[in-house]
Amino acid sequence: MGQNHLRILTMLKEVELVGLFDTNVELLTKHCQAIGIKVPNSVEEAVNDAHAVVICSPTFTHANFIFKVAAVGIKHIFVEKPMADTLAAAIKVRDLAKTLGLNIQVGFIERFNPAIAEVKKILNTAEHVISVDFARTNKISSRITDVDVVTDLMIHDIDLALYMNGPANQVEAKGVVNNDMIDFAIATLKHTNGRFSRIQASRITEKKIRSVQATCTDMFVDCNLLRKEIIIHRDSQTKQVSGEAYKISSQEESIEVRPQEALLTELQAFIQSINDPTTVKPSEDAGLDAMEICDLIRRAVMS
């Protein structure tokens, strides 16, 4: 993931890369030489001349790196999701951000998915949203060894559920645990505005699924995030047809989603936030909100 961030950052004219760090010395040397910068011996050396940093290391290192770069005066920090590996660590990061006035953006990339942006607009026009269902499945990746499916996959949709439906005051969950790690989970969130979110995440399912479906009183919204397809099913209508008294028909509307790389849009938002503090982005508060729900789901499944 770090190399994906590096690819985008090298494309942006408003960005000057002054330092890189990775524990893989061979990989670090390769990219430093390609950019034309010195190979550092530590994180502190890498960020010595930096004004902002992007942290995309393993989950268990996130909080530690945030504290390291904040200690040397870095105020602008992008950190991949989740903000920390535990709720306690996430609280410490949030408190640090408030104390030092840090500008933290958490890598909830799905907020910048053009299909999600379109679905949110559609729901804002709905007569009444009853429930939004999220499904995210993928066969386990060998590179993910430090977090369960809740923190690895489900957290994306937990953030989307809070982003679309607001705060939640009730959480129920069930799941499957293998070797003390949750590999499959289903959660239901009841939001303070009366809406429901049903979230399914699995890394033992062979089929890769990324979907959002919304039940509203005047429409049903079906979004395939992999294909960037959105179909709206409207209320059935009664029509007069010659030769017949009445005929029931339903309306189906396909919404075009413009192609757009979410990672590019996400990093552009981070850069904009450096110059404009009012920029809307997932902050440390969003990071902590998602971790609180993760913790409740994890406790429910493990019990």
pLDDT in tens, 57-85: 999 999 999 999 999 999 999 999 999 99
Checking if the pLDDT of 52 tops 70, the result is yes
CATH architecture, domain defined by 110-258+284-302: 2-Layer Sandwich (3.30)
Listed by start position, the domains of the chain span 2-108, 110-258+284-302
Averaged pLDDT, 255-261: 90
Share of the chain above pLDDT 70, in %: 93
Domains 2-108 and 110-258+284-302 share a fold: no
> Quick one: pLDDT band at residue 96, thresholds 50, 70, 90?
very high
Share of the chain above pLDDT 90, in %: 87
Q: Which residues contact 193 (CB under 8 A, 6 or more apart)?
A: 165, 166
Sign of the C-alpha dihedral computed for residues 225, 132, 254 and 209 taken in this order:
positive
Please, which contacts does 294-297 make with residues 24 or more away whose CB atoms are closer than 8 Å?
A: 294/82, 294/87, 294/150, 294/151, 294/154, 294/155, 294/158, 295/87, 296/171, 296/173, 297/150, 297/154, 297/158, 297/171, 297/173, 297/175, 297/185, 297/187
Burial 290-300 (b: 16+ CB within 10 A, else e): bbbbbbbbbee
Residue 145: its pLDDT value, please?
Answer: 61
Tell me the one-letter amino acid at 22: D
CATH architecture, domain defined by 2-108: 3-Layer(aba) Sandwich (3.40)
Contact between residue 90 and residue 291 where contact means Cβ atoms under 8 Å apart: yes
